Amino acid sequence: MQALVLKSTGKWYSILLPSGEVISAGIKGKLRLDGLKTTNPVAAGDRVFIEKRTFHYEDDTTEYAICEVLPRDNYIVRKSTNLSKQMQIIAANIDRMYLVVTLKSPETQLAFVDRMLVSAESFRIPTTILFNKIDLLREKELQELERLQKLYETIGYPCYSIRGDKPENVKFLKEQISGKQVLFTGNSGVGKTTLVNSVDSTLSLRTGEISRAHEQGKHTTTFAEMHAVKSGGYVIDTPGIRAFGLIDLEKAHYSHYFPEMRHRMGECKFHNCQHLNEPSCAVKKAVENGEIALSRYQTYLQLMGENTEDPYRRNEHA
């Protein structure tokens, strides 16, 4: 029987059956996932085949087992922070990613935003940026918000300024989400869960507080979990992400995942230009002319200069 994974706890999986019933299931044996080295073989959003059979794990028992994970359309991953050779699948089969960003309480670093966008681009996942908690911003901060929105909208990412705690302010999301399977992600404390609650008040998911000492969120979502919303579609709420390491991407291809660079690569003198020290580089010229944001190019340089074995790539204020 085909079913949908709502939540993975590492031990049991919450599974939505075609009938609408939610059951608990284990994993039958070792699932092969096209050679992927992952810490979690099954993730929220996965389509799976299950069979009815008694499944034992330590002192617990369930009547269902996952026997196969169907091919994924896409997925978002990050490096496991304790096993740098492996990766953690955050969610699978995503129609759109909503990246929740705050300029304060806590501050989201642009490098983190760009890393998330690169990962989404690598799997061709359309992304919308939601600038949340705008009620906390003063005049100069509102000017910075306007600048950032213009920067990312020019690249091609839809941007919205919102108050996630006001359901009337995020009505547009209900229409966008309807019939789709979407992911809400971002740093701890940016208001993802509050936002999900505003999209569908019947969910009443638990939200956390902001640590005064470091202005960072206290984790309230332990595992990514998918919720059906009453307006139609599914929302995947993720744990706050502090460390995000790109994985399985060749450095030579990083520039392909920056749309403003990708559109100019054919203008470089050398077809294999890495946009670092090569002469007659169209990308570097665009940076000098202000056509490509310096912050974006600096993130690109950081990615190109990083040790790909290092899993600890943090938003310093996350």
**Residue with the two structure tokens 């940076």:** 287
- Residue 73 φ/ψ, nearest 5 degrees: -70, -40
Q: What is the pLDDT of residues 92-133, one digit of tens each?
A: 999 999 999 999 999 999 999 999 999 999 999 999 999 999
Q: What is the reported pLDDT for 78? A: 74
Percent of the chain with pLDDT over 70: 80
Q: Pick from 76, 205, 186: which is nearest to 133 by CA?
A: 186
> Quick count: other Cβ atoms within 10 Å of Cβ 232?
12
Q: Helix axis angle, 139-155 relative to 294-305, nearest 10°?
A: 70
CATH 2.40.50 domain range(s) in the chain: 2-69
- Average pLDDT along the chain: 85
Tell me which amino acid residue 5 is. V
CATH 3.40.50.300 domain range(s) in the chain: 94-237
Q: Where are the alpha helices (DSSP H) in 137-246?
A: 139-155, 171-177, 192-199
Q: How would residue 90 be classed by pLDDT, with cut points 50, 70 and 90?
A: confident
Q: Pick from 186, 198, 164: which is nearest to 239 by CA?
A: 186
At residue 193's C-alpha, the angle toward residues 318 and 50, to 5°, is 110
Beta carbons within 8 Å of 71's beta carbon, 6+ residues apart: none
How far is 67 from 127, CA to CA, in rounded Å?
32
Count of all residues that appear for the chain in the document: 318
Pairing of strands 22-27, 60-69: parallel
Q: What kind of fold does domain 94-237 have according to CATH? A: Rossmann fold (3.40.50)
Tell me which amino acid residue 52 is. K
Q: What is the reported pLDDT for 211? A: 37
Q: What is the reported pLDDT for 73? A: 95
How far is 238 from 97, CA to CA, in rounded Å?
11
Q: Helix axis angle, 294-305 relative to 110-122, nearest 10°?
A: 70
Q: What is the pLDDT of residues 194-241, one digit of tens each?
A: 999 999 988 876 654 433 433 444 444 457 899 999 889 999 988 766
pTM over 0.85: yes
- Measure the CA dihedral 256/112/300/36, to 10°: -50
Pairing of strands 22-27, 13-16: antiparallel
Does the pLDDT value for residue 88 go beyond 90?
no
Range 271-281 average pLDDT: 95
Q: What is the CATH number of domain 251-305?
A: 1.10.40.50
Q: What is the reported pLDDT for 248? A: 65
**Residue with the two structure tokens 């938003």:** 315
Q: What is the pLDDT of residues 27-45, one digit of tens each?
A: 876 665 555 667 788 999 9
Lowest pLDDT segment from 64-68, 203-207, 287-291: 203-207
CATH 1.10.40.50 domain range(s) in the chain: 251-305
How far is 159 from 96, CA to CA, in rounded Å?
13
**Residue with the two structure tokens 């507080």:** 209
Q: Where are the alpha helices (DSSP H) in the chain?
A: 110-122, 139-155, 171-177, 192-199, 259-262, 282-288, 294-305
Q: What is the CATH number of domain 2-69?
A: 2.40.50
